A and B are shown apart, each in its own frame.
Chain A
Amino acid sequence: MDKEYKFHREIKNSYWKIKCYRNRVFFSSTLYQRSYYENLIIHEVDKIIALLEKIEEQSALNLLKRNPEDENQREFTLEELSEYDGSRGKPGYIAVDGVVYDVSTSPSWGGGTHFGLYGGKDLTEQFQGCHPGAEGILESLLKVGVIKK
C-alpha cells in the first residue's frame, strides 16, 4: 500500500511538471526555448513509463503470492485412483496417508513407476517402510485430492 501511494505521488509530480512545461512550450518565443522544454517533457514521460512498469511488476508478483484456492478437495475412491496409473499417457496419482498426489512429472516417477512400485495405488505402507519420517518428500508433491472415506 505504501509503495502504491509513493508511485501515485511521483506520477502526480511528473503530471504537474509536464503540464507546466507544456504551457511554456506554447509560450516560447525561440526554437531553442521550445526544444529545451520539450526535452524536459520527454524526461518526465520516461519517468512515468518507468513507474508504470514497476507497478505492473508489483501487481504480477502480488498475483503469484496469493495462495492457490483450496479447490483440490476432489475425492477419490480406490477404484477411481487405479485409473490414474500413468499408463498410456494418463496422469499418475498415488495416495499416501489419505492424500492423493500427482506424481506424473516427479523425476523419480518415470513411466508412472517408482523403484518397482506402480501408480494408481495407495502406497502409504511402502512410503513409511522406505522413507520413514521423511514427510518433507510429500510436501514437494502436487496435491490433487483426498481418498474418499
Chain B
Amino acid sequence: MKDGRIYCPLLNSKNTTSQALINSTNRLLRQSEQEKIDLIWLEATGCSGNIISLLNALNPDIIYLLTEMVNLKYNNSLMAAEGEKAFEIFLDTINREFILVVEGAVSTKANGLYTIIAKYKGKHITAMEAIKMAGEKAKHVLAVGSCASYGGPSAARPNPSGSISVNEFLEREVINIPGCPGHPDWIIGTIAHLISHGRPPLDDNNRPIMFYGITIHDNCPRRSYFDKGIFATKLGEKECMFKLGCRGPVTKTDCPIRQWNGYVNWPIGDNTPCIGCAQEKFPDGMEPFIRY
C-alpha cells in the first residue's frame, strides 16, 4: 500500500490492455511477415462521433493504427480521394480480405434513402446498400458506437428513418462496440485483438468482454456511498448519484478506470451522473438522465 491507496494489478492493467495487445500484435507481424489487413470504415446513419473519437486515441494513437496496424482503405472523413474515384476504392477493397467497421445505424425507410454515402455512375449509393455489399464479404464486422450496435440515438422514438442496428440488418456475427461515442481504446483494442488473436471473447450481446465485462457501478469510486445508502440530493454533491438517475448500475463499460479524453475524466468523476450511453436501450430506455 502506498499513500493509503491499494495497488491492484488487475485494475492497473486495464489502462494498458490495448497497448499490450498492440505490442504482441507487432511481434506476431514481424515474426510472420503478415501483410496488414485492409479496413473499411463506413459512416452510416449517425453523427460521425466515432471517427472523431478514434482520432482522439492515445494509447496507441491514430497514426499508429494507420501505419502499423491496418490499411485504412475507405473512410469518407479521412481518405484523400473524392467522388467516384473514392467509391471505386471501396468496390475494389471488398474483393479482398478486409475488416468492415460500421458506425451509425442502418436506416431502412424509403429503401435506405435517408443516408446516401456516394454517387456512382449517376446512381445514389445508400448506406444500407454499401453495408450489405461489404458486410457479406468482410472477414470481421465491427459495429462501433451505440447507433451501430443497438440503434441508439438514430433509432430513438419515433425513429423516422427506420434505423436499426447492424446486427439486426446483417445475417452474420457482428461485434458490437457500443458507447456514445465508443472509446478509442475499445475500438483500437478490438481491432488489435482481431488482427493478432482473432475473434475476442464476446458476451451474449456480442461485446468484447475485455472492455464490457463489468458494470460501472462495480468499479465506481462512489460505490461505498451507495452501499451505505448515502445519496446526493442534487447535482454537485459528492455522494452517490443513484437517486438522481445515474445509470452506472446497468451499464457495462470500464469508464471509471480507463476514463476519457486522454484518460483524464469521466462523468461521475466530473460530478454528473452516468446516462448509460453504452447500454442497449440508450437513449429512450435510459431516460430521464436527471431525476429531481
Give residues in A with beta carbon < 8 Å to B.
86-89, 104-105, 107-108, 110-113, 115-116
Per the bound structure, the CA–CA distance linking A83 and B244 in Å amounts to: 17
Give residues in B with beta carbon < 8 Å to A.
217, 226, 229, 231, 233, 242-250, 273, 281, 284-288, 290-292
> Given A87, A88, A110, A115, which contacts B242 in the complex, CB threshold below 8 Å?
A110
A110 touches B247 (CB 8 A): yes
A107 touches B217 (CB 8 A): yes
A115 touches B285 (CB 8 A): yes
Chain A residues whose C-beta falls within 8 Å of the C-beta of B226 in the assembled complex: 105
Indicate whether A110 sits within 8 Å of B285 (C-beta atoms), given known contacts A89-B231, A105-B242. Answer: no
**B14 CB, nearest partner CB in chain A, Å:** 22
Indicate whether A110 sits within 8 Å of B292 (C-beta atoms), given known contacts A115-B281, A116-B287. Answer: no
B250 touches A113 (CB 8 A): no
A107 touches B243 (CB 8 A): no
B229 touches A105 (CB 8 A): yes
Chain B residues whose C-beta falls within 8 Å of the C-beta of A108 in the assembled complex: 249-250
Chain B residues whose C-beta falls within 8 Å of the C-beta of A111 in the assembled complex: 242-246, 273, 288, 290-291
Per the bound structure, the CA–CA distance linking A105 and B281 in Å amounts to: 21
Per the bound structure, the CA–CA distance linking A111 and B246 in Å amounts to: 7
> Given B233, B245, B246, B290, which contacts A89 in the complex, CB threshold below 8 Å?
B233
- Given A86-B291, A107-B249, output 4 extra A-B contacts at Cβ < 8 Å: A89-B233, A110-B242, A112-B243, A113-B287
Q: Can you identify 24 A-B contacts, CB atoms within 8 angstroms?
A: A86-B291, A87-B291, A104-B243, A105-B229, A105-B242, A107-B217, A107-B249, A108-B249, A110-B243, A110-B245, A110-B246, A110-B247, A110-B249, A111-B242, A111-B243, A111-B244, A111-B246, A111-B288, A111-B290, A112-B243, A113-B245, A113-B287, A115-B285, A116-B284
Interface centre among B233, B291, B292 (most CB of A within 10 A): B291
Interface centre among B229, B242, B243, B250 (most CB of A within 10 A): B243
B249 touches A112 (CB 8 A): no
Chain B residues whose C-beta falls within 8 Å of the C-beta of A107 in the assembled complex: 217, 249-250
Who on chain A is nearest to B232 by CB? A89
**A32 CB, nearest partner CB in chain B, Å:** 48
> Given B233, B250, B281, B284, which contacts A110 in the complex, CB threshold below 8 Å?
B250
Chain B residues whose C-beta falls within 8 Å of the C-beta of A87 in the assembled complex: 291-292
**B9 CB, nearest partner CB in chain A, Å:** 27
